[in-house]
Amino acid sequence: MNYFKTTILLAAMTGLFLAVGYLMAGEAGMAIAFVVAIAMNVYSFWNSDKMVLRMHGAQEVDAQTAPEYYGIVRQLAQNASLPMPRVYIMDTPQPNAFATGRNPENSAVAASTGLLETLSPEEVAGVMAHELAHIKNRDTLIMTITATFAGAISMIANFALFFRSGRNGIGIIGTIALMILAPLAASVVQMTISRTREYAADRLGAEICGQPMWLASALAKISGGGRQIENVAAERNPATAHMFIVNPLSGKNMDNLFSTHPNTENRITALQELARQWQMEDTPPDGPWSQQSDYSRDVPKRGPWG
């Protein structure tokens, strides 16, 4: 059902983009919008990971420069039967993380210095398992495409003022309405897609690491940090906010129409229920580490993140 809903929402985003083009310049405008949509998606498909990582100043690390962090991602990727993604660190004190890339073979994960300094290794594992779940579900491409559409719709709607006397004659009132409502509608679709995928990634992430409470604990800490610490790069690039595990812009935990993420408390409750369900079913952790094992003994440490 989540994939069906996502498909419908992507179709709605495309339809909205074409409709804006039609209202601005009739059939010719719709045709131009269609060509632009194809070009945007082709560019996003091949360059989405590079664009987002560059926006947030992420630096790539490896087993030598960040052994503990890199080792966590490597073990989780093996447990999820995924190719090893490229691993990045963002230099920001706000605890947060995201994943990007067009497919599992061309993917990347990024965690902030704030996250690696604030969270325990188990909590970091829960977060990175969530991000790998997005990669496994191919959410990263979907989220990048919606962000591209949302930005383009906002841009083209702002051009509407120059085309208000076009063949469709929507007038100044219609033009103003288009400039306001089109970007608003695009944002709603973008946010809805993001919220749809977060719950699925939480559950799959818990399965990848084998411990739902690691992610639940991490979400509580990240949400608190997000409310108190500004993420400057995210504020400059708000269209990428939905890609983070927790909203990097405001930290508000309101599960409403205009929230980029589900209510953090609701996500934590769902993970707690999953943990209780596993306990009742006597389901052992199937992640790379169990509660009894010290996974860090196999990973050399060099500071909080290597």
Annotated catalytic residues are: 131
Q: Which structure tokens are listed for 50? A: 């590079």
Q: Distance from CA of residue 6 to its chain's centroid?
A: 14
- Nearest C-alpha neighbor of 304 from the set 67, 85, 146, 109: 67
d(CA 158, CA 72): 45
Query: Which residues, including other chains, have CB under 8 Å from residue 249's CB and lie 6 or more apart?
Result: 231, 234, 235, 238, 241, 260
Contact 128/79 with Cβ under 8 angstroms?
A: no
Task: Tell me if residue 109 falls in helix, strand or coil.
Answer: strand
SS3 content of the chain, % helix, strand, coil (to 5): 65, 10, 25
